[in-house]
């Protein structure tokens, strides 16, 4: 059985990090790339948010005995099979995990364009994830 307090704690952390990210949304692209800490704050907090999402998913999969998680994105695939989200939403979450991996392991330098696009256009994906989880609790 899923421990609701664990999920609520992770969701609260996501909210805190999301608030920090959103505080940089009013910046123009030029302001964003020239700001001394904006990019770092946004990248780091998106990293935290995605880690929380991964933790939530893996917690649900493990506690409900839904399968074995062999990669960071695997839990999202498993929950898609159980109707938590659509295949198109799964693709979004899988891309988020790939973005997280790029930040964590610095596989490539992430362009400011990608980070700014996430800031301006991808935060709703996080809100959608939270709603989907809350609807299943």
105 catalytic? Reply is: yes
- Among all chains, which residue has been given the structure tokens 């989200």? 85
Q: What is the DSSP letter of 40?
A: H
The CA distance from 119 to 137, in Å, is 28
Say whether 77 is catalytic. Answer: no
Structure tokens at 81: 């099979």
83 φ, ψ (degrees, to nearest 5): 85, 15
Q: Active-site residue among 9, 25, 59, 100?
A: 100
Compute the distance between CA of residue 8 and CA of residue 69 in angstroms, rounded to an integer.
21
Catalytically annotated residue among 77, 105, 121, 131: 105
Residues labelled as active-site residues: 100, 105
């Amino acid at each position: 059985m899923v421990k609701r307090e664990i999920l609520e704690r992770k969701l609260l952390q996501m909210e805190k990090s999301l608030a920090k990210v959103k505080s940089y949304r009013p910046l123009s692209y030029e302001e964003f790339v020239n700001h001394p800490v904006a990019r770092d704050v946004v990248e780091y907090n998106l990293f935290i948010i995605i880690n929380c999402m991964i933790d939530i998913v893996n917690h649900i999969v493990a506690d409900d005995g839904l399968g074995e998680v062999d990669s960071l994105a695997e839990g999202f695939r498993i929950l898609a099979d159980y109707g938590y989200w659509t295949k198109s939403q799964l693709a979004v979450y899988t891309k988020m995990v790939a973005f997280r991996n790029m930040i964590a392991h610095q596989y490539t330098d992430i362009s400011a364009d990608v980070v700014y696009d996430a800031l301006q256009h991808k935060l709703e994906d996080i809100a959608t994830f939270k709603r989907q989880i809350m609807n299943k609790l």
